[in-house]
């Protein structure tokens, strides 16, 4: 699915501000997803990380990769089979390598490629790029995804 509105997926995300790290999905199909997020300059975590040179914490870069690369893809894959009311997610593993910093007000692009989705476990290889298309971080994320129908 290219150049299509993915608002139905964003509406199903189990996150809200200030812990929502997905602005827009650019591409989504059964093999992967690509999306954007801008780390807002006024986000509270920048105040203390680091005092005179704020940098986005690696744990939040990982979370952004997981929300776009794992959860959005998982919603798409589950939606193919059934309608659902609540999404239950648990990250089971993350292995990330950080290469460049992300600064306040910087937009990043996350690209995720499906490794496998079976027995409610989703595993993906993710890469995050900055506005200059330089690789910021990369790794493998896995999580358990299930649904409830009410």
Note the pLDDT tens digit of each residue in 46-85. Answer: 988 888 899 999 999 999 999 999 999 999 988 765 555 6
Q: Give dist(CA 88, CA 140) in Å, integer.
A: 20
Going by their DSSP bridges, the two strands 106-118 and 121-129 should be labelled as antiparallel
- Looking at the DSSP bridge assignments, the partners of residue 97 are 138
As a CATH number, domain 7-148 is 3.10.129.10
Please report which confidence band the pLDDT of residue 3 belongs to, taking 50, 70 and 90 as the band edges: very low
Instruction: Give 99: exposed, middle or buried? Use CB within 10 Å, 0-12, 13-18, 19+.
Output: exposed
Give dist(CA 7, CA 56) in Å, integer. 26
Q: Where are the domains of the chain?
A: 7-148
Are 33 and 69 contacting, i.e. CB atoms less than 8 angstroms apart? yes
Q: Point out the residues that are catalytic.
A: 49
Q: What is the pLDDT averaged over residues 82-91? A: 67
Do 45 and 57 contact (CB within 8 A), yes or no?
yes
């Amino acid at each position: 699915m290219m150049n299509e509105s993915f608002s139905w997926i964003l509406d199903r995300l189990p996150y809200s501000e200030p812990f929502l790290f997905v602005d827009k999905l650019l591409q989504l199909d059964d093999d992967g997803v690509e999306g954007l997020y801008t780390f807002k300059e006024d986000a509270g975590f920048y105040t203390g990380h680091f005092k005179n040179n704020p940098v986005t914490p690696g744990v939040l870069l990982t979370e952004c990769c997981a929300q776009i690369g794992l959860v959005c893809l998982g919603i798409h894959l589950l939606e193919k089979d059934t309608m659902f009311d609540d999404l239950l997610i648990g990250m089971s593993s993350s292995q990330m390598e950080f290469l460049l910093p992300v600064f306040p007000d910087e937009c990043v692009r996350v690209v995720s490629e499906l490794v496998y989705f079976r027995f409610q476990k989703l595993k993906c290889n993710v890469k995050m790029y900055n506005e200059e298309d330089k690789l910021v971080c990369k790794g493998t994320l896995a999580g358990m995804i299930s649904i409830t129908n009410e």
